């Protein structure tokens, strides 16, 4: 699960990142709204968003977060006296909030609960439900092997990126896999054969690998 921590206090940001990494999350950190916007060029499953930041109010980022596809879960982090900000943020579309000082185990539990609620991914005519591991495309159910499904999810979470075959092997098959890059090509062909959306949007990048183009 990829999490963006938007927090301007370095020690707190480092502590949150260390804990979440230990808990199994992939963590990125931004100290300002501007940096958060740059980080959001890549997909995240969840964003922990501080309300008070050096270059503005954290809740002003919520509309942008809601417009992302896939949409990340949004948790506001506020001080005890910022009840109005919490209410305003929730009205804008935040999913939850935590009051500082943050209880780390509570943060872990809330992140996992929220991402379970937001783990349906839509991409054009395709819908992926991570809870049931089902895929539909143009209204038709598609049966996939485990690796086809995992490869599909990786492309969806990194849409728009040119993905090297070796990176795909490392990330989807893991570092201990003894196969070669032809394995990636074979599974890409299978995805294209099964899914009209993948056939149209999953492009070959010459001498690199593949890129899933936005619909």
- Per residue in 6-49, pLDDT tens? 999 999 999 999 999 998 888 999 999 999 999 998 889 899 99
Q: Which residues contact 111 (CB under 8 A, 6 or more apart)?
A: 1, 3, 20, 25, 46, 48, 73, 75
CATH class given for the domain over 2-117: alpha beta
Task: Give the alpha-carbon dihedral of 99, 102, 105, 110, to 10 degrees.
Answer: 40
Rounded CA-CA distance 96/117 in Å is 12
> Could you tell me where the beta strands, DSSP code E, fall in the chain?
2-6, 26-30, 46-50, 52-53, 56-57, 73-78, 96-99, 120-123, 126-129, 134-137, 140-142, 162-164, 202-205, 209-212
8 A C-beta contact, residue 77 and residue 36: no
pLDDT tens for 90-124 read 888 888 889 888 999 999 988 888 876 556 778 88
Per DSSP, what are the bridge partners of residue 98? 77
Domain 120-212 - what CATH class?
A: mainly alpha
Give the pairing type, strands 46-50 and 2-6: parallel
> If we measure between CA atoms, which residue out of 184, 210, 206 comes closest to residue 198?
210
Whether pTM exceeds 0.75: no
Q: Specify the pLDDT at position 119.
A: 61
Task: Output 148 or 159, whichever has higher pLDDT.
Answer: 148
The pLDDT score that the predictor gives to residue 114 is 81
What is the mean predicted confidence (pLDDT) over 42-59? Answer: 91
Does residue 94 or residue 195 have the better pLDDT? 195
What CA–CA distance (Å, rounded) separates 201 from 215?
7
Beta carbons of 95 and 65 less than 8 angstroms apart: no
pLDDT digit string, tens, across residues 59-86: 899 999 988 877 888 999 988 666 777 7
Positive or negative: CA dihedral 60, 16, 79, 76: positive
Structure confidence at residue 7 (pLDDT): 96
Tokens of 179: 């196969």
Question: Where do the domains of the chain lie?
Answer: 2-117, 120-212
């Amino acid at each position: 699960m990829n999490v963006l921590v938007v927090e301007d206090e370095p020690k707190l940001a480092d502590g949150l990142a260390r804990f979440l990494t230990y808990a199994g999350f992939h963590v990125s950190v931004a100290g300002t709204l501007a940096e958060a916007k740059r980080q959001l060029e890549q997909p995240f499953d969840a964003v922990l968003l501080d309300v008070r930041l050096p270059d503005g109010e954290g809740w002003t980022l919520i509309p942008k977060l809601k417009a992302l596809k896939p949409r990340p879960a949004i948790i506001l982090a506020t001080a005890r006296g910022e009840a109005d900000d919490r209410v305003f943020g929730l009205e804008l579309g935040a999913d939850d909030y935590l009051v500082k000082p943050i209880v780390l185990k509570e943060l872990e539990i809330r992140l996992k609960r929220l991402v379970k609620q937001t783990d349906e991914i839509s991409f054009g005519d395709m819908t992926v439900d991570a809870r049931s591991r089902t895929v539909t495309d143009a209204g038709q159910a598609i049966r996939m092997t485990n690796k086809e499904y995992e490869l599909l999810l990786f492309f969806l979470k990194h849409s728009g990126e040119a993905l090297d075959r070796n990176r795909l092997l490392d990330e989807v098959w893991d570092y201990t896999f003894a196969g070669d890059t032809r394995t990636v090509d074979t599974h890409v062909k299978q995805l294209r054969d099964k899914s009209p959306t993948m056939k149209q949007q999953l492009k070959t990048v010459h001498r690199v690998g593949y890129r899933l183009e936005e619909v």
